[in-house]
Amino acid sequence: MIQFKKYIALVFFSICFSINAQNTYKNWPDVIRKNDASWFGTEEAKKIAENVLLYQRNIGGWPKNIQMQNALSETEKQKLVDLKSDLHDITTDNGATCQEMLFMSRMYAQVKDERYKESFLKGLNYLLEAQYDNGGWPQFFPLKKGYYTHITYNDNSMVNILVILKEIGEETDFYSIKPSKEIVEKAKKAFDKGIDCILKTQYKQNGVLTGWCAQHDEFTLAPANARAFELASLSGFESAKIVLLLMSIEKPSPEIITSIKSVNIWFEKTKITNLEEKRVLNDAGKIIDKKMIPTANAAPIWARFMDLETNEPFFCDRDGIRKKSLDQIGSERRNGYSWYSDAPKEVLKKYPAWAVKNGVKVSSAEASDKKKTNFITVAQDGSGDFTKIQDAIYASPAFPYEKVTVFVKNGIYNEKVRIPECNTNLALVGESKENTIITFDDNFSKINLGRNSTFYTYTLMVEGDDFSASNLTIKNTSGEKGQAIALSVVANRVKISNCNILGNQDTLYLSGKNAKQYFTDCYIEGTTDFIFGGATALFENCTIHSIKSSYVTAASTPEGTAFGFVFKNCKLTAEPSATAVYLGRPWRIYAKTVYINCEMGRHIKPEGWENWSKPDAEKNAFYAEYNCKGEGFQPAKRVAWSHQLTKKEAEKYTTENILKDSVPNWFSK
């Protein structure tokens, strides 16, 4: 379920509720997905919860596209009370009902208001009642005439429901509300029926399984039309989330395995690598035109609509007439609808590891694809291609045209690993973050190579550009013995996701000429200057943990560099004994470090920053914060030479601006 929980990544605001404050939230889903659980115990959250309760109908579901956080007048509240028994427009489309249930669960985790529990359970009962006998769900329930009665995969409606039922049926802790054993059993059965429906609706093309349509007829299970421009077809977008759900099932049946293998082959067959979408925006940032530009070796995309027999992409305007290219339909539909998607790339990325985990034997054709995509397995028990990670690196091709994936099965790998400059475009993927561990114990004194010994202490060294690592723990185990790097990155376009990076002093070194590096959903811990170096690095949704009172960062940003270290939506935590931690100090006088929307624990010193006995740094370094929170965020007490960004200044700190490179959007691949 990891891939379905990632989208619950959340942002915390500790401000008091008012009508004006409510209106600062542009979208209702932004409220649900706030980062710190404690926000859901605030008065602001409670007032929003009253709105959510009002919008819920007696049958248990909610209407869609409602900005629940907006203040309601007394007249509006009374109208909602009068609508409680109304059975129209209740749906799971556009995330409705599923997202409100999540909100109520997060509320109940902080405030044991029985109304929240009752609301969640009513929503769950609504989902169970809405299911067809064949396992599918309509777009609206009670049924609304028209295409709304079709089994609806569109915009992941049915997948969202099944994710909830999976969590309930497996009795995980994801939801704070625990249904009765009877409801748990119903959820299990409903989930199994839903999966059976998915398997039965997978479309066969000349007897070969492919993907799914956005809608399927509720009686025949055949692909079905929806709106005039949504003709029956195979969907690259909807099929991706369906198969990711199937891949999340432990001990899949032979039928599920066949389904996953088949759609993986279909995705490979239907990917488009010679087109890129170009969007033309007006001054307000609104899309005014979309064009598909022929591009050699473009990142793969898939059409939202593909012919059921030929897989050929097609496009429709509101007249329902099929066209062969996007430029043949009017601007309203061309610019107002998503005609292409890169969602299937996540399936192709995860499939090799899933196949290894589930012992899937590949056909000769698939084996050829595996060789072509350069997939190497490391396993200590001898079941892979190599037993050591470094041996797999040595066996990887130099400067490959396609990504090389080194999949590392669970185990403690006590080795020093180096990704040389020639090993570009390499992905190091662990079986699990908790149990795939790369560890070594070098430190400054042990290396003993002079004043620069620090840079030889790494456990993992990355020198090859376009590197990625995920689902790993990278650890330097030397302890309190001076400088000792766990991860050293001296390459460009490096992405580290869902990893633990553990050490003490100098845990994480980031460098490289004009290098851009991206860390997301990582846990990083250390003591002194445990994130240091001169690269431009963005940290998003990471936990930064101080083991003792010292310094978090020591940037050495080169003069004239636009961005240094940027932390967005991160959480700064510490051991109880660490009570006096600085946000950073300048290793070099042009250091740049910025914290945006971060939660800072009480261990952060009020003054925030230290000049490392370098008066020139106070004139040249750039240390700043914006919209942070927590006991450690004390802007009035910060050193005078640091900055609190304005909203306009903070707006330039987008992922695109920080990580801009000659390879566009590399960080999202």
Question: Maximum distance among all alpha carbons in the chain?
Answer: 79
What is d(CA 453, CA 506) in angstroms, rounded to the nearest whole number? 12
Q: The tokens 């790494």 sit on which residue? A: 458
Chain centroid to CA 249: 19
Which tokens in the block code for residue 69? Answer: 């956080």
- Which residue stretches of 481-623 are H helix? 615-620
Other CB atoms closer than 10 Å to residue 263's CB: what's the count?
25
Which sign does the torsion angle of CA 278, 281, 285, 286 carry?
Answer: negative
Q: Phi/psi zone of residue 206: left (φ > 0), alpha (ψ -120 to 50 degrees), beta?
A: left
Out of 155, 465, 506, 521, the active site residue is: 506
Residue 255 burial (C-beta neighbours within 10 Å; 0-12, 13-18, 19+) = middle
What is d(CA 296, CA 77) in angstroms, rounded to the nearest whole number? 56
The pairing of strands 275-281 and 582-584 is unpaired
Check: CB of residue 104 under 8 Å from CB of residue 68: no
- Which residue stretches of 287-401 are H helix? 331-335, 344-357, 364-372, 389-395
Out of 36, 529, 616, 661, the active site residue is: 529
DSSP class of residue 38?
Answer: G
The pairing of strands 315-316 and 322-323 is antiparallel
Check: CB of residue 572 under 8 Å from CB of residue 551: no
Which sign does the torsion angle of CA 81, 83, 87, 92 carry?
Answer: negative
What is d(CA 558, CA 511) in angstroms, rounded to the nearest whole number? 10
Check: CB of residue 349 under 8 Å from CB of residue 272: no
208 forms bridges with which residues in the sheet? 205
Q: Is 529 a catalytic residue?
A: yes
Q: Is 289 a catalytic residue?
A: no
Which tokens in the block code for residue 355? Answer: 């196949």
Q: Which of 58, 68, 63 is nearest to 93 (CA)?
A: 63
Other CB atoms closer than 10 Å to residue 180's CB: what's the count?
9
Q: Which residues are catalytic?
A: 506, 529
